Amino acid sequence: MRMRLSSSRSMLYRFFILYGSLYAGFGVQSPYLPILLDNHHLRPETIGLALAAGMAMRLMAAQAVARLADHLDAPKVILALCTTAAALIGLGYLPAQGAWLLIAVGVLHSAALAPLPPLSDTLALGAAAPAGSGGAVIHYGWLRGCGSAAFALGLVLSGQVIGHFGIVVIVWLNTALLAAAAPMALRVPQLLAAAGHPQATPSQARGVGVLLRLPLYRKMVLLAMLILGSHAMHDSFAMIRWSRAGISPGTSGILWSLSVAAEVVVFLLVGRPLLDRIGPAGAAMLSAGAGVVRWAVMAETAWLPAVAGIEPLHGLTFALLHLTCMRLLAQCVPRHLEATALTIYGTVGIGIATALLTPTFATRGIEAAKLEVFRGVRSKGRHHKGRCHGAATSTEAILGDG
């Protein structure tokens, strides 16, 4: 028993280091990337095009890499290779000059970055699976919460050092942290899912058709597009908007970290009990309602106290819905298609909405973000069919009856 506990702790610590270094690497660069592009005197429309092109590449690259990882049953190796590639390609932002060269670097960097979250989540969900069989090892929320906390720390760190070393420091920090994550990807365990988890037949494992024939999974991806896709405006242009409203990079980093801190609280403390209590349908409705409030306020003002007040709603608009989707995905997706399913959810579900909406937001502003969330609320209003009983019924209450 003591040996088992020691092994579980060792596994947990390795996952913490992996998630911490990966998400800190995301945090030091991704929120500030639009400022880096703006610093190269790109117009808002061009910045929107650059970000949308990167997202479009994510849709293609992540799918191909996830299929390869599933086919070879080697998510650890693929994760380590992609992390190393992302660390090296990111250095291309340093010499790049001109819109097209910056877009090219961004597209290549996006291709390497895209598989990292779904592949790490594939390993984490496999390790967390035994928790349902009585011997609780880890919970996915612990790892994702650690990643979110690391993202916030990286975000604040970048915000503070940019003033001293310039915006290019985000490139060096991103490269260093991803380089640290690459070897750790090989040290985390790759475990089988718990008994009772859906298994893929050989014919199913050959393609994604089985996923697209799962109505619950298909409609879960639609929900992700409607609710999580509405974050595109915030993620792409919030930093620029705050900067032009006179908010310093350091303060902007703290503002963004408020949203990530709320995300950490939901992942580590509030999310699982709340999800158990109100069910997936109630959690989805709560996420969408919080999104309506958040984007409505953000559309009207960049006043610092107002922004500080709405940023913590990110814990509901993102983290709670993400936990809901992960629970449903783990229950309905065959194990040998987990990497592909997570990638479709993260890049096709969220990514298509972001790729389509980012150029629109560059020209129309945040009013479009409110429209997307209102559509999400209408969708859940149509699909909510009363009180849920059990996992399958809960899913159908959110997503309709297929």
Q: What is the pLDDT of residue 61?
A: 86
State if pTM tops 0.75: no
CA-to-CA distance for 261 and 385, rounded, in angstroms? 33
- The Cα 313–Cα 241 span in angstroms is 19
Q: Which residue has the tokens 């009856």?
A: 401
Query: What pLDDT does 129 receive?
Result: 52
DSSP codes joined into one string, 286-319: HHHHHHHHHHHHHHH---HHHHHHHGGGHIIIII
Give the model's pLDDT for residue 399. Answer: 44
Q: According to the model, what pLDDT value does residue 46 have?
A: 86
- In DSSP notation, 167-196 reads TTHHHHHHHHHHHHHHHHHTTS--PPPPTT
Helix axes 321-332, 116-128, angle to 10 degrees: 70
Query: Per-block average pLDDT, block size 10, for the chain (402 residues)?
Result: 57 88 91 84 83 82 83 88 95 89 92 90 72 55 86 85 87 94 87 47 56 82 79 73 83 85 89 90 90 86 90 92 86 77 73 58 47 44 40 39 40
- Give the pLDDT of residue 224: 81
- Nearest Cα to Cα of residue 14 among 134, 167, 188, 133: 188
Helix (H, G, I), strand (E, B) or coil at 199: coil
3 state SS of 198: coil
pLDDT at res. 359: 54
How many other C-beta atoms lie within 10 A of the C-beta of residue 104?
Answer: 15
What pLDDT is attached to residue 382?
47
* Contact of 158 with 30, CB cutoff 8 Å: no
Predicted local confidence at residue 6, as pLDDT: 55
